[in-house]
Chain A
Amino acid sequence: AQRVTQPEKLLSVFKGAPVELKCNYSYSGSPELFWYVQYSRQRLQLLLRHISRESIKGFTADLNKGETSFHLKKPFAQEEDSAMYYCALRGSRSNTGKLIFGQGTTLQVKP
C-alpha cells in the first residue's frame, strides 16, 4: 500500500534553531517525493522535490531509500517558516500524477 507518514502534528522551535520535519513513506517501487508548504490563509505550494536535489528557502530534503524517509531540514529556522508542511508521494507507476499526502506537520517558529 502507498502511504506517507508524518509522525509529528506540531513542531515548535525557537528562531535560529535547527528544524527537521520527518516523513516516512511506504511504496513498492521508486516513488517521487515532494514537500508542500501552506502558509496561513494561502494555497498549497510546492517547496521541494527529491529529483531536483535543490535548496529552497534554506530547506533541503534527501531521499533515503534504505530508511524510506524524506525528512525536511533547515539549519536555522526563521519566524516566516511558520506554516503547515505536507510530505507527498507520487508513484513511479502512476502516469496520472496523483499525489498521496501525509497528515501534515505544523511548524511553529517562536521569536
Chain B
Amino acid sequence: AAGVIQSPRHLIKEKRETATLKCYPIPRHDTVYWYQQGPGQDPQFLISFYEKMQSDKGSIPDRFSAQQFSDYHSELNMSSLELGDSALYFCASKGVQVEQFFGPGTRLTVL
C-alpha cells in the first residue's frame, strides 16, 4: 500500500539559506500535519492543513511557511536557516475515520 512520501530524505544547508521540504500524503487523505523532532527531543507539532486550508498552528517560527496544494501534497518552506533548525521533520497524513500515518521524515542539517 502507498505510504506517506517525503522528499528529500536528507538535506544539508548553510546558515541563512532556504530549504523546501515536500510531503505527499496517502491517496484520499485530506489532512497533512508537520512535526519537528530535534536531537533527543519528542516530535513537536508545527502546522496542519485540511482541504488545502491551514487548520492549526503550533510552535512554527515566522521564518517558516507551509501550504497544501490542489493535489493535497504539502510543502514546508524554511528561510534564514539557523543551526537550531537542524532536526528531523515528519509529515503525517490523515483521512476520514483513520488515524495519522507518518512519513519517513526529512533530516535537515544546518551547518
Contacts and interface: CB of A to CB of B under 8 A. Distances in A.
Interface of A: 4, 34, 36, 42-46, 49, 86, 94, 96-104
B103 interface: yes
A103 B31 CA distance: 24
A98 B43 contact: no
B102 A45 contact: yes
B66 to A, nearest CB: 14
Most B C-beta atoms less than 10 A away, residue of A34, A44, A99, A103: A44
Contacts of B42: 4, 86, 101-104
B56 A96 contact: yes
A34 B99 contact: yes
Contact of B48 (A4, A45, A86, A97): A97
Interface of chain B: mostly helix, strand, loop or mixed: strand
Contacts of A43: 3-4, 90, 102-105
B50 A96 contact: yes
Nearest to A94: B56
A97 B92 CA distance: 11
A96 B48 contact: yes
A98 B33 contact: yes
Interface in B20-61: 31, 33, 35, 41-45, 48, 50, 55-56, 58
B79 interface: no
A86 B48 CA distance: 20
B31 A97 contact: yes
Contact of A46 (B55, B100, B104): B100
Interface in B63-102: 90, 92, 94, 99-102
Report the 9 A-B pairs with minimum CB-CB distance, sorted nearest first.
A96-B56, A44-B102, A101-B42, A96-B55, A98-B45, A43-B104, A103-B42, A101-B43, A43-B102
